[in-house]
C-alpha cells in the first residue's frame, strides 16, 4: 500500500458510523460489517441510552424493533436513542434507515409518508432491481439512473402517502430509488426509498447491507451506500478545515 493509499485508509477509518440496536433488530451486525468493508468504523449504539458516541452518521437497521407492536417502527421512534438522533438529524447528522429503520424514520416524522402491509398481504424475500434517482449523502457514488440489485425482505414495505405529499416528493426530487420490474409490495409509484430535503436523511426499504460481498450477496451493489457516506463526511471535513 502506498503512503497516499494509507492516508486515505486512515481517513476513512476515522469516520464513525453509529449502528443502532433495538430489541428485535436483526441486521445491525450486517450493517456494521458493511461499514467496515467500506473502510469506516462502525460504532454500536444501544436503544436505551442517550449517548450518540460522537458518531458522524447513524444507520437504523432492519428487523422487527419491539416486535412491530402497534405499527412497525412506532415504539422504536420513542426510544431514548431516537430522541438524540432526531435532534441531531435536524442539526445535520446524516441518517440512513433500512427497512425497519425506514419505518422508524417515518414514524419519527423525519421522512414523509408511511410503510404499511404489503398490498398482497404476503412477506416478500427476493433479489430486487432498483433504480437510483436522487443524489444524496448516501448515494453520491451512484450515477443518477443507475440500476442495482439488492435483496428485499418485508411484510410491511408498502410505501404510501397522500396525493399532495407524493406530488411534492416527486417535484422536489426526493424519490431516492424506485423498484424496477415487478413491484414487490405495492408501494405507491414504485417508490423504494425517499430522502429529506437536505439529502442527509434517507430511508430505503430494500437491504444494501446484504449486497456488499460477492460470496454472500446477489451483487456488491449495496456497498455504494456505505462508501458514499464516508466520502460525503470526508468531503465535508475537508471543506470545514480548508
Count CB neighbours of 146 within 10 A: 15
The residue whose grid cell reads 449495496 is 222
Dist. CA 187–CA 18, nearest whole Å:
29
H/E stretch holding 17 reads strand 16-21
Dist. CA 50–CA 215, nearest whole Å:
37
User: Could you confirm whether 207 is annotated as catalytic?
Assistant: yes
The DSSP secondary structure of 169-207, one letter per residue, reads HHHTT-EEEEE-SS-SS--GGGEEEEE-TTSSEEEESS-
Closest CA to 35 of 205, 176, 208: 208
User: Could you confirm whether 50 is annotated as catalytic?
Assistant: no
Q: Which three cell numbers stand for residue 169?
A: 416528493
Single out the catalytic residue among 47, 133, 156, 207: 207
Dist. CA 210–CA 77, nearest whole Å:
24
The DSSP secondary structure of 125-158, one letter per residue, reads EEEEEEEE----TTTTTSPTT-EEEEEEEESS-E
Single out the catalytic residue among 107, 133, 156, 209: 209
User: Could you confirm whether 47 is annotated as catalytic?
Assistant: no
Closest CA to 79 of 99, 93, 60: 60
Single out the catalytic residue among 47, 99, 107, 133: 99
Mind telling me the catalytic residues?
Answer: 99, 207, 209
Amino acid at each position: 500500500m502506498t503512503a497516499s493509499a494509507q492516508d486515505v485508509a486512515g481517513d476513512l477509518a476515522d469516520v464513525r458510523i453509529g449502528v443502532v440496536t433495538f430489541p428485535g433488530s436483526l441486521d445491525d451486525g450486517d450493517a456494521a460489517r458493511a461499514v467496515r468493508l467500506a473502510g469506516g468504523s462502525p460504532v454500536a449504539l444501544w436503544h436505551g441510552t442517550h449517548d450518540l458516541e460522537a458518531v458522524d452518521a447513524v444507520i437504523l437497521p432492519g428487523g422487527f424493533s419491539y416486535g412491530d407492536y402497534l405499527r412497525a417502527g412506532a415504539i422504536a421512534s420513542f426510544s431514548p436513542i431516537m430522541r438524540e438522533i432526531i435532534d441531531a438529524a435536524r442539526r445535520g447528522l446524516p441518517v440512513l434507515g433500512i427497512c425497519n429503520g425506514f419505518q422508524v424514520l417515518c414514524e419519527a416524522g423525519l421522512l414523509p409518508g408511511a410503510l404499511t402491509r404489503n398490498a398482497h398481504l404476503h412477506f416478500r424475500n427476493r433479489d430486487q432491481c432498483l433504480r437510483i434517482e436522487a443524489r444524496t449523502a448516501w448515494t453520491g457514488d451512484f450515477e443518477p439512473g443507475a440500476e442495482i440489485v439488492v435483496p428485499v425482505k418485508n411484510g410491511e414495505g408498502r410505501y404510501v402517502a397522500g396525493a399532495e405529499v407524493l406530488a411534492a416528493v416527486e417535484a422536489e426530487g426526493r424519490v431516492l430509488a424506485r423498484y424496477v420490474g415487478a413491484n414487490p409490495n405495492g408501494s405507491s409509484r414504485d417508490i423504494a426509498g425517499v430522502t429529506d430535503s437536505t439529502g442527509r436523511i434517507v430511508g430505503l426499504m430494500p437491504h444494501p447491507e446484504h449486497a456488499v460481498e460477492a460470496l454472500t450477496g446477489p451483487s456488491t451493489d449495496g456497498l455504494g451506500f456505505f462508501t458514499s457516506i464516508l466520502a460525503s463526511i470526508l468531503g465535508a471535513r475537508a471543506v470545514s478545515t480548508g
